[in-house]
């Protein structure tokens, strides 16, 4: 009975009420593995302690009419340190054009528009698969899309040789959309060594890598380590662009705080590119709301609050990692005939489970476990309280 779903319980309608109620206490009512936002071990949204402290600092401040440029410069200044490292020459020399953006989506949208305007003949190469909204964003910016190999369904890992072939075969100077860490939806990231090879090829081919960093810290628990892939490209002399989101790693989804930066040859070019990016933003939404920007820039510029954030990011990543381990172990203990190593090999918030659409449908109907049809599970929705129910249900539909 432990892994009966509610739908099955309904079939027991002839049972006495007390039995139904008893069964209901044995199953978590629903498991939502569809959400792309972090949840705690009770499945609840989390307000980080550093965010509470930042809120307390700005409470009552008379900022509502302030011009956002000074505040947003601070945000950009602090955000780029997370990408390039706080002592990077790029920052010291002002060799980047950075603007605040409406979270990661807005940063991608701004860049896509920039790409179409200044590189009208260009296309964008996306990983196959990628976050579904990437398709919409570049489509609406009228940039033609191509895909390149990334995920291998058999190994449920990286199709590295096919990826390299595609990078080699793309016309020189192509635009590629890369996930620097915690790839969505697959949870599959190249190793550092593989990033080095990819970066080397990009340099040879003069490709432009655009990094969409929506989950910094969620792959390894370490913000710097998760930016390593980008830094490898920079060290190799690649010119890059980068979108950053604070929706997940600061739990600020509703505030829409993000940043877009493009690496430049020198400070003069940075000023020119920044003004173009600002012009694009101005016609789209003028300027972003200031409250979330104040929270993020407040946290990043205060050493104590930043240290607290770093700790909280680590705790979120660790919780997800430990639930990956538990889920895999639980499936193995059930003597599942399948290989579940990918649950722990993949990183970040998502697990590309390999479940078929039919199996996903059975999980929904029989067990009230919800995930996207491609089998992507948001590991943030897994808790110590529901992980064994989930393992049993997955085993039932896959055995």
Point out which residues bind ligand PLP (CB under 6 A).
36, 103-105, 131, 179, 184, 212, 214, 245, 247, 253, 258
DSSP one-letter code for 127 = E
Residue 168 beta carbon to ligand PLP: minimum distance, rounded to whole angstroms: 25
Place of tokens 């400070």: 267
- Smallest gap from Cβ 19 to ligand PLP, in A, equals 42
φ, ψ dihedrals at 57, nearest 5°: -70, -35
Q: Are 261 and 76 in contact (CB under 8 A)?
A: yes
Three-class SS state of 369: strand
Min separation Cβ 293 and ligand PLP, Å = 14
Instruction: Measure the CA–CA gap between 208 and 372, rounded to whole angstroms.
Output: 31
Q: Is 92 a catalytic site residue?
A: no
Write out the two tokens for 310: 């770093």
Nearer to ligand PLP (CB atom), residue 212 or residue 226: 212
* In the complex, minimum distance from the CB of residue 338 to ligand PLP, in angstroms, rounded to a whole number: 27
Catalytic residue among 159, 166, 189, 212: 212
74, 156, 248, 306: the active-site residue: 248
For the CB of residue 253, give the shortest distance to ligand PLP in the complex, in Å: 6
CA proximity to 199, closest of 214, 211, 185: 211
Indicate the residue among 212 and 312 with the shorter CB distance to ligand PLP: 212
Q: Is 131 a catalytic residue?
A: yes
Phi, psi of 370 (to 5 degrees): -110, 130
Best CA proximity match to 179, nearest among 146, 215, 145: 215
Q: Which is nearer to ligand PLP, 5 or 106 (CB)?
A: 106
Please, which residue, 150 or 253, has the CB nearer to ligand PLP?
A: 253
Residue showing tokens 């899309």: 145
Q: Secondary structure of 382-398 in the HEC alphabet?
A: CCCCCHHHHHHHHHHHH
Distance CA 187, CA 33 (A): 14
Comparison of 256 and 328: residue with beta carbon closer to ligand PLP: 256
Name the 3-class secondary structure at 214. Answer: coil
Q: Clarify whether 168 is annotated catalytic.
A: no
- Which residues are annotated as catalytic? 131, 212, 248
């Amino acid at each position: 009975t432990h892994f009966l779903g509610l739908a099955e319980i309904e079939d027991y309608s002839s049972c006495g009420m007390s039995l139904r109620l008893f069964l209901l206490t044995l199953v978590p009512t629903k498991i939502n593995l569809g959400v792309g936002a972090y949840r705690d071990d009770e499945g609840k949204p989390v307000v980080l302690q550093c965010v509470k402290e930042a809120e307390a600092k700005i409470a009552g401040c008379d900022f509502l009419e302030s011009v956002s440029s000074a505040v947003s410069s601070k945000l950009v200044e602090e955000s780029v340190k997370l990408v390039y490292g706080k002592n990077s020459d790029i920052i010291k020399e002002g060799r980047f054009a950075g603007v605040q953006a409406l979270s990661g989506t807005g940063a991608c949208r701004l860049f896509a528009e920039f790409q179409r305007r200044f590189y009208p003949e260009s296309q964008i190469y996306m990983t196959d698969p990628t976050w579904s909204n990437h398709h919409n964003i570049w489509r609406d910016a009228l940039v033609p899309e191509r895909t390149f190999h990334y995920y291998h369904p058999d190994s449920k890992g990286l199709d590295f040789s096919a990826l390299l072939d595609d990078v080699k075969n793309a016309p020189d100077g192509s635009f590629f959309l890369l996930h620097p860490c915690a790839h969505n939806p697959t949870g599959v990231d190249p190793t550092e060594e593989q990033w080095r090879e990819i970066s080397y090829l990009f340099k040879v081919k003069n490709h432009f890598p655009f990094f969409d960093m929506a989950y910094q810290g969620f792959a390894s628990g370490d913000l710097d380590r998760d930016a390593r892939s980008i830094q490898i490209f920079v060290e190799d002399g690649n010119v890059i662009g980068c979108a950053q989101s604070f929706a997940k790693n600061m739990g600020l989804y509703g505030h829409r705080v993000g940043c877009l930066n493009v690496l430049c040859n020198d400070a003069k070019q940075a000023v020119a590119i920044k003004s173009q990016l600002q012009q694009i933003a101005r016609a789209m939404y003028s300027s972003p709301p200031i409250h979330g920007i104040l929270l993020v820039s407040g946290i990043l510029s205060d050493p104590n609050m930043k240290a607290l954030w770093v700790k909280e990011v680590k705790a979120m990543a660790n919780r997800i990692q430990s639930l990956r381990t538990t889920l895999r172990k639980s499936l193995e203990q059930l003597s599942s005939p399948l290989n579940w190593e990918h649950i722990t090999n993949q990183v970040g918030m998502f697990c590309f489970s390999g479940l078929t659409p039919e199996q996903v449908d059975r999980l929904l109907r029989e067990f009230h476990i919800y995930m996207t049809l491609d089998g992507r599970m948001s590991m943030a929705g897994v808790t110590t309280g529901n992980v064994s129910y989930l393992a049993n249900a997955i085993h039932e539909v896959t055995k």
